[in-house]
Amino acid sequence: MAPKLVISVAFLISVSLAVQFGADAAGIAIYWGQNGNEGTLEETCATGNYEFVNLAFLPTFGNGQTPMINLAGHCDPYTNGCTGLSSDIKSCQAKGVKVILSIGGGAGSYYLTSKEDARQVATYLWNNFLGGSSSSRPLGDAVLDGIDFDIEGGTNLHWDDLARYLSAYSKQGKKVYLTAAPQCPFPDAWVGGALKTGLFDNVWVQFYNNPPCQYSSGDLSNLENAWKQWISDIPATKIFLGLPAAPAAAGSGFIPVADLTSKVLPAIKGSPKYGGVMLWSKYYDDQTKYSSSIKSSV
């Protein structure tokens, strides 16, 4: 009778592994916040298309500046007009969507001048957006799931310090997810050093606006070579393929749905670190329905 018991245990182990990996299935991350005509945050999460929503952006911080969010036409942070997003954030989280604050962006005033500066920024983010407390939380009392490093300017200094300080807050209860959106040329000029800390959960690499490492009309080689370098050299939990959701969303790098599903994804999905696809942005995704078209293939 003993062999049957062994089979049963092996079966149970395989089932439990399947459940674990199923819960960690690939998904789509989206950036929301830079166009007032892209629907509400609650509507974004209600589509069921996204596992992660990055709130774009907190473009002003560091060097003693008063941090300030900019969510374009959605709300006015200068009049506390963004606190109403708290209920939207909670609605998203109730659906299992992780809501993350993206700091930086393509246009902003941000850089860290010292390790102490990084510590102060981390403290501010913890108290105003994460699990800490402050009388002036810009998005109300909702507790965001983490911080996204979309660093595209300033300097490349002390982002590793900021990651360490933020990661340490995970010890105070709810995990603080750390994500980043580097450019596909390796290593990234801004956060390449920070990514080496191994503290980042998801890295959505921007495979656009960078012709040397992006897909172009049938030619996979540049993208595939860059992808292999990212998955082998960066100690992150998951690497995502970052793409524009429409041709107009970026200067270059848009991949037609048919090419993505039949050529690109089959070439990269075999990697254990493959996490899914990141799209810029919700506004453009609304125009093309890109996420709906690729969801079953991701």
Looking at the domain assignment, is residue 18 inside a domain? no
Looking at the domain assignment, is residue 10 inside a domain? no
Looking at the domain assignment, is residue 131 inside a domain? yes
For 261-297, the pLDDT digits (tens) are 999 999 999 999 999 999 999 999 999 999 999 999 9
Residue range of the domain that includes 272: 27-295
**Number of C-beta neighbours around residue 40 at 10 A:** 14
116 catalytic residue (yes or no): no
Of the listed 51, 116, 152, 224, which one is catalytic?
Answer: 152
For 73-84, the pLDDT digits (tens) are 999 999 999 999
How confident is the model at residue 173, as a pLDDT? 87
Looking at the domain assignment, is residue 4 inside a domain? no
- Identify the CATH number of the domain in which residue 248 sits: 3.20.20.80
AA identity, residue 298: V
The total number of structural domains in the chain stands at 1
Looking at the domain assignment, is residue 199 inside a domain? yes
Question: Which is nearest to 238 in space by CA: 173, 180, 289, 168?
Answer: 180
Q: Is the pLDDT of residue 195 over 50?
A: yes
Looking at the domain assignment, is residue 86 inside a domain? yes
Q: How many residues does the chain have?
A: 298
Looking at the domain assignment, is residue 20 inside a domain? no
Looking at the domain assignment, is residue 19 inside a domain? no
